[in-house]
Amino acid sequence: IYLLKMNKYNTHTHTHIYMIYDYISNSASFCLPNHSTTVRRPFPLSHGTTTLGFIFQGGVIAAADTRASAGGLVACPAVHKITPIHSHLVVTSSGSGADCMLWERILTREIRLYQLRHRRRLSIRGTAKLLSFMLHPFKGTEVCVALTLCGWDKESGPKLIYVCSDGARLQGDIFSVGSGSPYAYGVLDGGLKWSLSKDEAISLAREAVFRATHRDAYSGNNVDLFHITAQGWSQRKREDLKEEYYRDMEKRSKDRRGKIKRE
């Protein structure tokens, strides 16, 4: 393990971004003193989740379930998969829980150091670029991190950028990541519009996470939801998806009874 210091000159902002990489040549294994054999992880890394983010006229919505799974085991029913980085930026995380927490802490530290050095916050695009550069040396290893940056820039408004552990960086208006994402996309694609009100956007995000957790065994328990605007992020109270399920079943039952009566 050694430290590699890189000095990146940004021609757009005329600032220097200093990055320190804790570079590990092979994070999938560790070498014994004689360097002749390696010891690998004794179990497969299995995980699942549902996270999403989208942009609408009222800002950015970030939502996620709270179940941490390890294969067929529910390791924890109440984890936090949405982490505030600063007053106008949160990240949703999927992948290995330990890897995600580590890189979120590293990113928070680097953003704070940048703010202290330059007396301003790094832009969301600059933050995504910095994270991508830091993760790229681990491409091809078993590091598993997928973060969606959901934030608001003072100059350019709402931003949604996806960064994963091979260094990929994608910007868009809607992202859903995790084993439950196909189900969440099914709801979002049918209901997402730029003109949504705040309440409609929150309802759509809750519905997408709920439907995903209902179909995906690796997602579930609760839903966390953040709303990011020019004034900063605000967090909605955590909701139990079990209660949402019972409300949905009761509504369907009433609809069926009403239909039978009309017939």
Would you name the residues annotated as active-site residues? 49
CA–CA separation, 128 vs 107, rounded Å? Answer: 10
Q: What is the largest distance, in Å, between two alpha-carbon atoms of the chain?
A: 80
In DSSP terms, which residues pair with 164 in a beta bridge?
A: 146
Burial (CB count <10 Å: 0-12, 13-18, 19+), residue 78? exposed
Three-state SS across 140-190?
CCCCCEEEEEEEEECCCEEEEEEEECCCCEEECCEEEECCCHHHHHHHHHH
Say if strands 59-65 and 222-229 run parallel, antiparallel, or are unpaired: antiparallel
Burial (CB count <10 Å: 0-12, 13-18, 19+), residue 128? buried
H helices then E strands: how many in the chain?
Answer: 5, 16
Four-residue CA torsion sign, 65, 71, 73, 76: negative
User: 5: closest CA among 25, 26, 22, 27?
Assistant: 22
Residues in contact with 13: Cβ distance below 8 Å, sequence separation at least 6, in sequence order: 123, 126
In DSSP terms, which residues pair with 15 in a beta bridge?
A: 10
